[in-house]
Chains A and B, each alone.
Chain A
Amino acid sequence: METLKRHYWKILSIILLIYTVYAGFNGQVPRQPILNETIRNLYFHVTMWFTMIFLLGTSVYHSIQYLRKSDLKSDLISSTYVEVGMVFAVLGLITGSVWAKFTWGDWWTNDPKLNSVAIGLLIYLAYSLVRSSMPDEMQKARISSVYNIFAFVIFMVLIWILPRMTDSLHPGNGGNPAFSKMDLDNRMRMVFYPAIIGWTLLGFWIAQLRIRIKNLEQQNEL
């Protein structure tokens, strides 16, 4: 019973993801112009961004915890969440790129959302550079926590405010169909929301495994 209490969310994640894959490929979807069947990418592409934002948000929470309590564990957790968040960012970029090839005819288009995410990746690559440039553990943790919080704020401005100011071919911008009230019907919602939860849980599961591995590595070094 105790193990079930601790691990039920992992089982939930697996079930939700199996459901997502099954219903995602077999379920009914509305026929939208241009999008057609590729609208199913909603379950596998958009959910990556949700997961990434949740992971990065959690990372910021742990960075704040570090600045308040100076516990190196928080820094380790925070940096791991950034790493896993970046994995999901790359996955989102790849799924988006494949989709763009079949819908817009090109692997990379000049789209504000695409560019924003590329800049986001640069911001977080700089984060790992900052970490590797500091030899002292405490200093590394302090400085990278500060940078992480600052970077997250700028990143949020970048992905939430800027794309709304320019027209774009991306679904949801410039009058293109996307998951707004009118376009997303209830059958799709039945898959989309569980998919978000499933992928997010998977992200946190991966992050937790990474944290445990890192903790063990540190214990081995001592």
Chain B
Amino acid sequence: MALTEIFVLIRKEMQLEWRNKYAIHGLVLYLAATIFICYLSFKAKQQSIHPIMWNTLFWIILLFSAVNAVGKSFTQESANRNIFYYTFAKPESVIFSKIIYNTLVMLGVSLIGIFFYSWVMGNPVGNMPLYLVSLVLGAIGFASTLSLVAGIAAQGENSATLMAVMSFPLIIPLLLLLLKLSKSALDGISLSENWDEIAILGALDIIVIVFSGILFPYIWKH
């Protein structure tokens, strides 16, 4: 029963997004513009970019896109409509549907991002499958951490500032782990050598999702 509820809510998110496409278009354009700015300021000026800088820059672009994409989760719909959802959906279903939907969005953003980024900036990655694993883990982690933070920020008055101030320090542990794993992928180290990092990242994702499920009901009730 709860599963169908989550499913219905995810479908609702998708339909909303489909009806006014400007949000998703805006996100893709944001990504493309940022990547192109990075290309102009690094690659075009200096002819080359150090692989480590290549990697870090890409994750920072993803982080900013994620904050933008997930930040609007709770503010794009009016407060009245949120009250309407509150009357029939369980808060756990709401947050899990947001997390799953945002994960899908982030997966899309990461894939479009890595494609466009490799196109203009070159691709020094040695082990691409492992890099994709880190992108997937990153998408889940970003989506779950930021969904809860977006829920908190939506309660405040200046939610955009709150979102940035709260999410950046909270996301750093995840980002550091992701940088470490993707650095291994960059150096072409095999998947089997990196089980530790993958396990810790997966555990962190699960911890964040579980705590979102526990804590979100308290934000949701007015």
Docked pose: A146 CA to B204 CA in angstroms: 18
Give a binary string over B160-203; 1 marks a CB under 8 Å from any A CB, 0 the rest.
00100110111011001100100000000000000011001000
- Chain A CB within 8 A of B148 CB: yes
A219 to B86, CA, bound (A): 36
CA–CA, A141 and B56, complex, Å: 37
Distance (Å) between the CB of B128 and the closest chain A CB?
24
For the complex, give the distance between the alpha carbons of A127 and B154 in Å.
15
Residues of A within 8 Å of B173, CB to CB, are 119, 154, 157-158, 161-162
Please give, as numbers and ranges, the residues of chain B lying within 8 Å of A220 by CB-CB distance: none
Say whether B215 contacts A133, CB under 8 Å.
Answer: no
B contact patch SS? helix
Residues 171-191 of chain A: 1 if any B CB is under 8 Å from the residue's CB, otherwise 0? Answer: 000000000000000000000
Bound together, the chains give a CA A134 to CA B215 distance in angstroms of: 18
Name the residue of chain B whose CB is nearest to the CB of A161: B200
Interface size on B, residues (CB 8 A): 28
Q: How far is the CA of A139 from the CA of B222 in the complex (A)?
A: 8
The yes or no answer to B156 lying at the interface (CB within 8 A) is yes
B152 at the interface (CB under 8 A from A): yes
Q: How far is the CA of A158 from the CA of B176 in the complex (A)?
A: 10
User: Count of A-B contacts with CB under 8 A?
Assistant: 72
Given known contacts A133-B162, A157-B207, is B155 in contact with A143 (CB within 8 Å)?
A: yes
**Whole-angstrom CA separation of A131 from B148 in the bound complex:** 17
Identify which of B165, B197, B218 contacts A126 (C-beta below 8 A): B165
Asked whether B29 is an interface residue with its Cβ less than 8 Å from the other chain, the reply is no
Chain A interface (Cβ within 8 Å of chain B)?
67, 119-120, 122-123, 126, 129-130, 133-135, 139, 142-143, 145-147, 149-151, 153-154, 157-158, 161-162, 165-166
In the complex, 8 of the A-B residue pairs with CB atoms within 8 angstroms, ordered by the A residue number, are: A123-B169, A126-B170, A133-B158, A135-B157, A143-B156, A146-B215, A146-B218, A157-B207
Q: Which residues of B contact A (CB under 8 A)?
A: 145, 148, 152, 155-158, 162, 165-166, 168-170, 172-173, 176-177, 180, 196-197, 200, 204, 207-208, 211, 215, 218-219
